[in-house]
Chains A and B, each alone.
Chain A
Amino acid sequence: MRITLNGQKKEVQADPTKPLLWVLRDDLGLVGTKYGCGQALCGACTVHVDGQAVRSCQTSLDDVADREVVTIEGLSGRVAKVVQTTWRELDVPQCGYCQSGQVMAAVGLLSTKSRPSDAEIDDAMSGNLCRCNTYQRIRAAVHEAARRLGA
């Protein structure tokens, strides 16, 4: 199976029905993408496929054949840099386990909406659980990143 992963073309030898999450983690060693539920209920496994935030636990390898997959390890560009810097400066993470998914979702949001409202943040991010409940800072960091990107 051929995919483009973090900007590089890659030939992957794995069961085509295998969830992308486990291909990334177990076959390719990219463990920044996390397992939380396996049912697309928590968002910890969020990656970008052709620029869209998707749940890699419910996306099979053959779903991404010949498509562009970006994981937290391959995140690049201005939006990503600003989001991650803001995340760090606002001390968003507690345990940090969900934050790869949160960052992927936030970058996905800010790549399409330059100044999201609270309601738009809720829409885009309510599928990403944080059991430490860092939501207040996630919201603040998205707004702050939007402000910096617009400046």
Chain B
Amino acid sequence: MNLFKPALFNEAQATRRSFLIGATAFGSSLIVGFSAKAEVPQAGSNAHENPFVGYVKIASDDTVTLYSSQMDMGQGIYHGIATLVQEELDADWGKISVVGGFGNTALYGNLSLGGKIQMTGGSTGIFSSWERYRRAGATARVMLVEAAAQRWRVPVGEIRAEKGVVRLLSGKSATYGELAVEAAKISVPSKVDLKDPKDWQYIGNEALARYDSGPKSEGRQQYTIDLREPGMLTAVMIHPPKFGATLRSFDASKAKGMSGVVDVVETPRGVAVVASGMWEAMKARETVTVEWDDAKAENRSSGDIAAEYRAAADRAGEAVATDIGDVNAAFASAAKVIEARYEFPYLAHASLEPINAAARMNADGTLEVWGGHQMPDLHQAVAAKVAGISPDKVILRVMKTGGGFGRRASVDSDIVVEAVATAKAIEWKAPVKVQWTREDDMRAGRYRPAFMHKMRAAFDDKGNLVALRDTLVGQSISKGSVLEAALVKNGVDRLSVEGIVNQPYAIPNVRVDLTTTSSPVPVLWWRSVGSTHTAYALEAFMDELAHAAGKDPVEFRLALLRDKPRHAAVLRLAAEKAGWGTPVPAGRFRGVAVAESFHSYVAQVAEISISKSGLPRVHRVVCAVDCGVAVNPDQVRAQMEGGIGFGLGAILKSRITLDKGRIVEGNFDGYDVLRIDEMPSVEVHIVKSSAPPTGVGEPGVPPIGPAVANAMFNATGKRIRILPFGDSEKS
């Protein structure tokens, strides 16, 4: 989700942030990042272990625990934050671990949103953490050195601190852990200097191995599904089979007599079958009969929705997102007009760990909620409301998750509601983990909204591209949510039009208009959000326009990117590295696309052949990325590789289909995604930059679809305008 504005890319917040850095001694450790003005007070009595109050905790055993404002769904932000702190702190890298923080917006608020809410998303993690966590590391280091100076009665200038050890030239030394208690008593420096980039050892270091690769290669990483708290029960849900249906009644008499079944209860989001384990719960669920009230349910099929969208796309959009120049006049006097309509299906996130959360009411009145908490402030408030307690009694345990891709950032905290409501319905007598099956995950929503784009372009009699018009039709992600006020302006949800409303080409007349549809089908951000469809429509259409103009697609774009140096630079780099313009091996074809999303710039050249099925086989993708400073270059590459595979699977094979309101796809047989035999060889080139870092979790996704589609045209002369490609072949 592209929630932040470029205007926030300045240093103005640094000063405001700096006074939040404080320090305190809890037990035998130094905690940096203490803020006395926690907006939500801490719960629990074991304050020294409490993650609400800090960024960095150095314990006397030399372990360093970092409290991350961002949750980690695999994108590697814990590693990124560890790198930022480590650059300034220089602890023993092997003793660093990272856990999720929450409950203190002043400390953890996402700086891309002005620090007003804690949120993981929009590829903002590194941007938000860049100053904050380096400063935290530097503050801790200064205090450790000062503590050593006082202990040894020497000037600080004679002290070096590195690799977790503070040393004097004389050979005297102490570990950071040994100095932690004394350091915590030092007054917090009001200002710390950050290293000059030329002295960086960790930022930009190719050799720095990701700190959590070991446990993840050995099956030791714990996720929410793995929780085994004493007495913990497992619940599976029965959701309405059609979105918008409500519960009328249910009969669980058979289930209640089954082995291992504890109870079958009503929650605000469906019926929960609570049992000793997953298998027992799933078996019991099959015997429960439920009557639903479909009066307000979605009853349409995908074909009906597409027909309505097509009709709407033929009319002017109901709201105007941008209107530059005089589009009508430009089309009226055009020498040539090109039109194309692009159709995008609903898509599921289909993270490999199906959605889950767990809740336990403790004897002291605190409520613990485990999960992949991507919007902790909201989840905390919602959990409190469902439980009927005050928010300060809620303890969120932020778990690493098996994927996410946007799905865990549900603004209504759906799975948190289910876990807390289920635990409450059994009168808090045991901790409960609500675990969705794959079918639940596929059919209970939320999806990348289906969209349609009607694109039109006008050339004048000299062959200049003089006008571009895009009429979009689709559901709004923000409308009806707590984010509506911030993101919907004049009837336009920014998330619907990002990627097209800010299109980079120098075209004098541009209009983007939008008809926002409504449906009970719940929609959500899906890795790269609006750009999942806007970049495809724009970049596939630009290729059509280059062809119509008789120009090379790279040259055609570059001429129109004259005011966009960062777009142009990645496009040039990808083209050069891919050998654009040089002969392709026999049977191979190239296609190119470029897109900016989340303030990072990515261009990709795809090299394909056509398989027997008529679908493209992608052999090689050359990717150029400009994300400012590459904090972890190998993780930038990993995110580009992953984003390309994620986007490629979706455009080739994935769609969610409605049949009279019911979701057809239930598992990975119907909802197909990329497999290893379809993964291209990906080559990533990172533009050297000193600009502040921007995100990489999402920006690898948008260009791959149009790059492959454009290669497909070069191979077959056919334009793919209905996604996924497999459906386009059938149409």
A25 interface contact, C-beta 8 A: yes
CA distance A96 to B353 in the complex (A): 10
Chain A residues within 8 Å of B259, by CB = 15
Interface set, chain B 264-320, CB cutoff 8 A to A? 276-279
B213 touches A97 (CB 8 A): no
A84 touches B223 (CB 8 A): no
**Inter-chain CB contacts under 8 Å: number:** 177
B244 interface contact, C-beta 8 A: no
Q: A38-B438, A98-B352 are in contact. Are A29 and B228 (CB under 8 A)?
A: yes
Q: How far is the CB of B682 from chain A (nearest CB, A)?
A: 6
Chain A residues within 8 Å of B643, by CB = 133
Chain A residues within 8 Å of B215, by CB = 96
B397 interface contact, C-beta 8 A: no
Q: How far is the CB of A99 from chain B (nearest CB, A)?
A: 5
A122 touches B676 (CB 8 A): yes
B112 interface contact, C-beta 8 A: no
Q: A26-B234, A26-B278, A132-B403 are in contact. Are A137 and B352 (CB under 8 A)?
A: no
Chain B residues within 8 Å of A137, by CB = 638, 641
Q: A35-B225, A121-B676, A129-B673 are in contact. Are A94 and B217 (CB under 8 A)?
A: no
A18 interface contact, C-beta 8 A: yes
A2 interface contact, C-beta 8 A: no
B676 touches A41 (CB 8 A): no
A56 interface contact, C-beta 8 A: no
A72 touches B278 (CB 8 A): no
**Residue in contact with B220 in the complex, picked from A32, A91, A97, A130, CB distance below 8 Å:** A32
Measured CB to CB, the nearest residue on chain A to B353 is: A97
**Residue in contact with B277 in the complex, picked from A22, A32, A100, A135, CB distance below 8 Å:** A22
Measured CB to CB, the nearest residue on chain A to B643 is: A133
B210 interface contact, C-beta 8 A: yes
Chain A residues within 8 Å of B400, by CB = 95-96
B76 interface contact, C-beta 8 A: yes
Q: A92-B213, A137-B638 are in contact. Are A100 and B644 (CB under 8 A)?
A: no
Q: How far is the CB of A110 from chain B (nearest CB, A)?
A: 15
A148 interface contact, C-beta 8 A: no
**Residue in contact with B646 in the complex, picked from A15, A122, A133, CB distance below 8 Å:** A133
Q: How far is the CB of B540 from chain A (nearest CB, A)?
A: 22
Scoring A22, A126, A132, A139 by chain B CB atoms within 10 A of each residue's CB, the highest score goes to A132
B675 touches A136 (CB 8 A): no
CA distance A122 to B679 in the complex (A): 10
**Residue in contact with A139 in the complex, picked from B213, B218, B351, B676, CB distance below 8 Å:** B676
A37 touches B438 (CB 8 A): yes
CA distance A121 to B644 in the complex (A): 20
B213 touches A87 (CB 8 A): yes
A134 interface contact, C-beta 8 A: yes
Chain A residues within 8 Å of B401, by CB = 95, 97
B638 touches A128 (CB 8 A): no
- What are the interface flags for B632-661 relative to A under an 8 Å C-beta threshold, 1 for contact and 0 otherwise? 001100100111111001000000000000
B669 touches A96 (CB 8 A): no
A16 interface contact, C-beta 8 A: no
Chain A residues within 8 Å of B524, by CB = none
B677 interface contact, C-beta 8 A: yes
- Size range of the chain B interface in the assembly: 35 or more
CA distance A122 to B352 in the complex (A): 20
A35 touches B354 (CB 8 A): yes
Q: How far is the CB of A113 from chain B (nearest CB, A)?
A: 16
A131 touches B217 (CB 8 A): no
**Residue in contact with A95 in the complex, picked from B73, B218, B679, CB distance below 8 Å:** B73
Scoring B209, B234, B668 by chain A CB atoms within 10 A of each residue's CB, the highest score goes to B668
CA distance A91 to B168 in the complex (A): 36
**Residue in contact with B278 in the complex, picked from A35, A88, A93, CB distance below 8 Å:** A35
B217 touches A99 (CB 8 A): yes
Q: A73-B219, A135-B676 are in contact. Are A31 and B279 (CB under 8 A)?
A: no
A26 touches B277 (CB 8 A): yes
B173 interface contact, C-beta 8 A: no
CA distance A71 to B219 in the complex (A): 9
B603 interface contact, C-beta 8 A: no
- What are the interface flags for A53-91 relative to B under an 8 Å C-beta threshold, 1 for contact and 0 otherwise? 000000000000000000111000000000010011101
Chain A residues within 8 Å of B427, by CB = none
Measured CB to CB, the nearest residue on chain A to B641 is: A136
CA distance A130 to B679 in the complex (A): 11
B642 touches A91 (CB 8 A): no
Measured CB to CB, the nearest residue on chain B to A80 is: B218
B253 interface contact, C-beta 8 A: no
B681 interface contact, C-beta 8 A: yes
Closest 7 CB pairs of A and B: A133-B645, A95-B74, A97-B402, A32-B219, A96-B216, A72-B219, A26-B277
Binding site for A on B (CB under 8 A): 73-76, 209-210, 212-223, 225-226, 228, 234, 259, 276-279, 350-354, 400-405, 437-438, 634-635, 638, 641-646, 649, 667-669, 673-677, 679, 681-682
A-B contact pairs, 16 of them (CB 8 A): A22-B278, A33-B219, A36-B352, A37-B668, A39-B668, A88-B217, A96-B221, A97-B74, A98-B402, A127-B675, A132-B403, A133-B679, A135-B645, A137-B641, A138-B676, A139-B679
**A15-B259, A93-B212, A136-B679 given. 7 additional CB < 8 A pairs?**
A31-B225, A38-B438, A42-B438, A96-B221, A99-B217, A132-B403, A139-B679
